[in-house]
Amino acid sequence: MRQNIKGWCLSLYANRLPKAGETLHGHKFMTGFGGKGANQCVAAARLGASTAMVAKLGDDTWGNNYLEQLRSENVNVDFIQQCKNETTGIAQICVSDSGENHIVIVVGANNLLSGDDVKKAKVLFDRAKVLICQFETPLDATLEALRAFKGISILNTAPAVEDTPVDLIKSATILCLNETEAAITTGSEQISTLTQAKVAVEHLLEMGANNVIITLGAMGAVYARREEPETFIHVPAVKVNDVVDTTGAGDAFIGALAYYMAHYPEFPWHQHIGAANQVAAYSVRHPGTQASFPKLEQVNKLTEFAWYEI
C-alpha cells in the first residue's frame, strides 16, 4: 500500500543538462505518468504485488487519465480522491544523454492529503504488509500514516528537507534515501564513497532511525539495522553499460524492495536489496519513468546476491 503522490511527468531529453540561465536545444520530448508514490506503487504492482493508494488528484483531464492508468496497472484506487479546482501534480524532468536528470515538481492536489484521509483508509492499513510514504505530501499526513501502520513501513525522504522531523525518522521501520537525500538529512557536504555512506548511516541511526538503507546509484546500496548497529553491509549494484534514463530508478528500487519484503519475509535483507538493485538496473536501460519498470518475468528470479561488510 502507498500513502503518496501522483502526477504527470514532462520529460525533455538533451545532450547535457543546462546550466543556470542557459537555453539548450533538446532532441526528444515525452509525457508520462509519474510521482514518487505512484511510481513505487506501479513498480511493485508490475512485479505481482497487490497494491493500493491513498492519494489526491486534480479534477482535470490528467487526473482522469491517471485513474485509468492505475486501474490498468491493477492498483486499487478506492481511496484516491479527485479534488475540484485543483490541478494534478506535475514534474518537469530534463534528461541528459548520460542518463542523469534534473527534476522540478509542483505537487498540486497532493498537498491536500490529510490525516483524515489516512483514517478513512483504515481497511487498507489493517490488511497491508508494507506501507511506503514519501515527502511529496504534507508531513503531518505522512506521520499519521506511519503511526497508524503496524506492518513494515518504508519512509523515502524525497524530496529531502533539512531538519527532518525526528518523529518521522523514528516512526518508520526503514528509512530509505539516496546519497543526495542522505547528505541533506545529515548535514553532510556530500556522500560519494562507501566510507561516507557508512558515516551517514551511523548518523541516521543516532537520529533515531530503526533501520537505514542508502542507495548509491552505480555503487549499489548500504544498510544497517538498529538490532546490529555495528554491522554495515554493502550490496553492490548490477553493472549497467548502456544507461538510457535514470529517472525513476530509485522508485523502482523502493517498489521492488516492498514487493520482495512482503513476498519473501524469510530472506535476509541483502537478498531483498540485491533483488531491488536488479529491478532498478533494468529501469535505467529503458526511457521514461513507469514505462521503464519491469514485470517479474523480465528480471531474474531471486538468486544469491553478493554482499560485503564495511
Residue 6 has what pLDDT?
Answer: 53
Q: Which residues face 30 on adjacent strands? A: 11
Residue 7 has what pLDDT?
Answer: 63
Looking at the chain, the whole-number percentage of residues with pLDDT higher than 70 is: 97
By the 10 Å C-beta count (0-12 exposed, 13-18 middle, 19+ buried), 76 is classed as middle
Residue 140 has what pLDDT?
Answer: 95
Residue pLDDT, tens place only, 197-209: 999 999 999 999 9
Q: Is the peptide bond before 159 cis (omega within 30 degrees of 0)?
A: yes
pTM of the model: 0.90
Which residues in the chain land under pLDDT 50?
2-3
What's the one-letter identity of residue 73?
Answer: E
| Residues labelled as active-site residues | 251
277 is in an annotated binding site: yes
Residue 237 has what pLDDT?
Answer: 96
Residue 243 has what pLDDT?
Answer: 92
Crossing angle (nearest 10°) for helices 194-206 and 179-186: 50
292 is in an annotated binding site: yes
- How distant is the alpha carbon of residue 196 from its chain centre? 22
Q: Which helix (H) or strand (E) holds 200?
A: helix 194-206
Residue pLDDT, tens place only, 240-296: 999 998 889 999 999 999 999 999 999 999 999 999 999 999 999 998 889 999 999
Residues contacting 68, CB < 8 A, separation 6+: none
| CATH of span 2-309 | 3.40.1190.20
114 is in an annotated binding site: no
C-alpha cell of residue 117: 484521509
Backbone angles phi, psi at 54, to 5 degrees: -115, 110
283 is in an annotated binding site: yes
Q: Which residues of 144-153 are buried (b: 16+ CB within 10 A; e: fewer)?
A: bbbebbeebb
Residue 31 has what pLDDT?
Answer: 83
| Closest-CA residue to 196 (of 213, 179, 181) | 179
- DSSP letter, residue 187: T
Residues contacting 261, CB < 8 A, separation 6+: 129, 130, 152, 272
136 is in an annotated binding site: yes
Backbone angles phi, psi at 45, to 5 degrees: -65, -40
